[in-house]
Chain A
Amino acid sequence: MFVTYLRRELAGRRKQTAIVAIGMALAIALVIIVNAVSSGVQLAQSTVLASVYGVGTDITVSQTPAAPTEGEAGAGGPANFDFGADAGATADGTTTVSQSRLSVDRGTTAFDATALDTVGGIDNVSAAAATLSLSNTTFDGALPDFSAGTPQTGDDAAGGTPPSGGPDGAGGSSFSVDSFTVLGLDPAAEAVGPLSAVSLTDGRSLETTDAGTNVAVLDADYATTAELVVGDTVAIADTDFTVVGLVTASSADAATASNVYIPLDVAQTLSGLTDQVTDIYVQAASSTDIEQIQADVETALPEATVQTQSDLASSVSGSLSSAADLVKNLGLWLSLIVLAAAFLIAILFTISGVTRRTREFGTLKAIGWSNGRIVRQVAGESLVQGLIGGVGGIAVGLAGILVINLAAPTLTAGAATADPASAMGGPGGSAGGFGQAMVEATTSDIVLQVPVTLSVILIAVGLAVLGGLLAGAIGGWRASRLSPSEALRSIA
């Protein structure tokens, strides 16, 4: 009887059923889309962050540069290239000089590597790895051979010889400054850190046996630009490194953390930063441990800057960040408002239906139907209306997600990372203010892909059931309060 009555009621009152179901469907579709887009945006953020910080990194530990004391040179000061009188090689009246300098990125401070042991000893830290983030800046110059003894003033009227030598043969000079990022990392620490987020495209990655050797792994894009392949050599701090592998970001949309990866100990030696690191990447045993680890690290290393993934997510900028804000603010509130409106519509229609069916429920009570049976009937009808809305909402929501994925909107994302250009001390390099964050967002384009997850579907079904039950409970409660005599008297 329950099913027959329910079926007849829903079919017999199609208009009401359709209005309630459509309202619920729209609200649930909106919730599905907002949730899915939110997941997509989070996924995109994770992709951007993973490319910089590595997969599975829950916490990063670094140190903010301190303002120098009076008379002390700032760490971010201009890079100097000093050449002695006999520097360079001279041929055909031209002296060529070249010098590489490997130094800590601007805005980055190296700190004692013992911090890694400190962090590694904290409870619930499952893995930790340290890196040394550096910039290799190479100065190349070609200038006339001044040692030839002939003044090359270019003053013909004084009777001197015309200027000669130099790259243009007329006494001119040419200089170039090239810079790329170098990341020194422990080849044995594969589980966490920047190299955990890359894919090998050629050769091999760094291995434990590479410690102390001059081998390098290159970002594939950088290798293409620099025309380098596996087996070639790359000069870092005037030292030749053999290229053993090429890597690329796991996501085609993201960039890797550095142009060149070399063993940590070699990087420390070449940069003169023995037993120094710039970043520590920490993996927590469980996501619930992150807050505790963050607090413990901050206590153990008071000078350190400790950032969790959620802190890092805020460093993602660009239209991806705008999309995240939009979803978080407007999308969330919009879906809540529409959901509340849909629930309200369902409740009002159910109450209105109960009022309209006063005679019906009075009659049923008169022939012996209990309050419970009537409440179940009303609640059942509302529940099915909600479920119809839920199914419709899932269909509309999935269609919306499909449209978004087909449209594949491209979002620009920037993740805060060391800026190689700013590390250049020469002309064109940015000035280094004390304590000023010398980081900038390296941008990459992310195609937003909105995932369909089981949890989104379950949320939709849950909302449909909740909406139906809520409307049914209120409508049923109202129906149960009808006194049969009053119900029948009101009709009479």
Chain B
Amino acid sequence: MYELTNVTKKYDQGKRSVTALNKVTLSIPDGQMVAIQGPTGGGKSTLLQMLGALDRPTEGTIELGSADLSKLGQGPLGEIRAREIGFVFQGFNLIPTLTAQENVETALAPLGVPTAERISRAAAALDSVGLGERGSHLPAELSGGQQQRVAIARALVKEPTVLLADEPTGNLDEQTRDEIMDLLEGLWRAKGLTLIVVTHDSAVAKRAQRRLLIKQGVVKDLG
């Protein structure tokens, strides 16, 4: 469960200070599917980075379970990301020189999973997103939808408690978008994940249990 209390994030841009998040207080229960919407530059990605332990707030606290993400150093935050949080990016962010199978395995590397187990778990994850036969393909040899499936497999192979998706369908056509969202939704239901999706797409947002609108750093819960 996420507990955000008065979270403020400011960025220094030269002599100017930009407030990306302004005293956000928010609670997200375990297993909830949440959509975050809002205009560009409103603070969506910043909020996702705070939730994903990629960055720390300037003020306020972010708790994930018993861990206060606002107070932990880079090392412990990295461990939390490695164990608890899966990421899916708009641009897929696959390693171009690694095969689909190896890309999925990268998520298990920091956990010290033995090689044989790592290989079998990555293969199973690829299988679960319908790419069991494409493990040896490089990202460049896969379509956009397939690359995003590989990215989803990479996010889920470590069995995280939270899956954060930043515009996961932003680079996909409508049909592929629906396929990916069906997949994400299916996995969310099957695994009991907390799924937080940042999106501009209302069709995607409508699938969520709860919608948050963020504008000028202020979050409005649309229910």
B91 near A491: Cβ-Cβ < 8 Å: yes
- Once the chains bind, are B81 and A492 in contact (CB under 8 Å)? no
Q: Are B78 and A359 in contact (CB under 8 A)?
A: no
- Complex: A9 Cα to B102 Cα, angstroms: 12
Q: Is there a chain B Cβ closer than 8 Å to A371's Cβ?
A: yes
How would residues 66 to 96 of chain B score, 1 for a CB under 8 Å from any chain A CB and 0 otherwise?
Answer: 0000000011001101110011011101011
Query: Taking CB as reference atom, which chain A residue is nearest B113?
Result: A1
User: B52 near A: Cβ within 8 Å?
Assistant: yes
Interface string of B47-70 (1 = CB under 8 A from A): 001001011000000000000000
Residues of chain B within 8 A (CB-CB) of A489 are 45, 49
Task: Knowing A13-B97, A363-B89, A491-B91, say if A368 contacts B107 (CB, 8 Å).
Answer: yes
User: In chain A, residues 451-492, which have Cβ atoms closer than 8 Å to a Cβ of chain B?
Assistant: 483-485, 488-489, 491-492
CB distance from B75 to the nearest CB of A (A): 7
Given contacts A366-B54, A366-B87, contact A1 B109 (CB under 8 A): yes
Contact check, B91 vs A11: say whether CB atoms are below 8 A apart.
no
Chain B: CB-nearest residue to A377: B109
- Cα–Cα, bound, A9→B87 (Å): 23
Whether A366 lies near B81 (C-beta < 8 A) is yes
What A residues does B87 contact at CB under 8 A? 363, 366-367
Within 8 A of A (CB), among B101-135: 102, 105-107, 109-111, 118
In the assembled complex, the CB of A52 is this many whole angstroms from the nearest CB of chain B, namely: 63
Is A368 within 8 A of B97, CB to CB?
no
> Taking A9-B97, A485-B49, A491-B91 as contacts, is the C-beta distance between A367 and B82 under 8 angstroms?
yes
- Please, how many residues of chain A have a CB less than 8 angstroms from a CB on the other chain? 28
Verify A369–B45 contact, CB threshold 8 A.
Answer: no
Tell me the residues in window 350-380 of chain A with beta carbons closer than 8 Å to chain B beta carbons.
359-360, 362-371, 373
Is chain A's binding surface mostly helix, strand, loop or mixed?
helix
Least distance between A2 CB and chain B CB atoms (Å): 8
A12-B97, A373-B109 known; A488+B78 contact, CB < 8 A: no
Q: Does A310 sit within 8 A of B, measured CB to CB?
A: no
CB pair B78–A369 under 8 Å, yes or no, is yes
> What's the least CB distance linking A209 to chain B, in Å?
79
Q: Tell me, in angstroms, the Cα distance from A485 to B166 when the chains sit together.
A: 13
Instruction: Decide if B97 touches A11 in the complex (CB within 8 Å).
Output: yes
Interface: A8 (CB within 8 A):
yes
Q: Do A368 and B78 form a contact, CB below 8 Å, given A8-B98, A9-B97, A359-B91?
A: yes
- Tell me if A367 and B81 are in contact (CB < 8 A): yes
A287 at the interface (CB under 8 A from B): no
Residues of B within 8 A of A1 (CB): 102, 105-106, 109, 118
Decide if B97 touches A484 in the complex (CB within 8 Å).
Answer: no
- Report the minimal beta-carbon distance from B13 to chain A, rounded to whole angstroms: 12
- The complex places the Cα of A360 from the Cα of B74 at a distance, in Å, of 18
Near A by CB (< 8 A), chain B positions 166-181 give 166
Chain A residue at smallest Cβ distance from B9: A485
Residues from chain B with Cβ under 8 Å of A12 in the complex: 96-97
* Residues of A contacting B52 in the complex (Cβ-Cβ under 8 angstroms): 366
Complexed CA–CA distance, A483 and B158 (Å): 23
User: How far is A368 from B113 in the complex, measured between Cα atoms in Å?
Assistant: 13
Q: In chain B, what residue has the closest Cβ to A8?
A: B97
Tell me which residues across on chain A come within 8 A of B102, comparing CB atoms.
1, 4-5, 8
Task: Please report the C-alpha to C-alpha distance between residue A106 and residue B118 in the assembled complex, in whole angstroms.
Answer: 87
Q: How far is the CA of A367 from the CA of B109 in the complex (A)?
A: 10
Give Cα A1 to B117, complex, Å: 12
Inter-subunit contact A370/B54 (CB<8 Å): no
Chain B positions 136-183 with a Cβ under 8 Å from a chain A Cβ: 154-155, 158, 166
C-alpha gap A11/B83 in the complex (Å): 30
27 contacts between A and B (CB under 8 A): A1-B106, A1-B109, A8-B95, A8-B97, A8-B102, A359-B91, A363-B89, A364-B95, A365-B81, A366-B52, A366-B54, A366-B93, A367-B87, A367-B154, A368-B78, A368-B81, A368-B83, A368-B107, A368-B158, A369-B78, A369-B82, A369-B109, A483-B55, A485-B55, A488-B49, A488-B54, A492-B91
**B contact residues vs A (CB 8 Å cutoff):** 45, 49, 52, 54-55, 74-75, 78-79, 81-83, 86-87, 89-91, 93, 95-99, 102, 105-107, 109-111, 118, 154-155, 158, 166
Which 4 A-B residue pairs are closest in the complex by CB-CB distance?
A368-B82, A12-B97, A485-B55, A363-B93
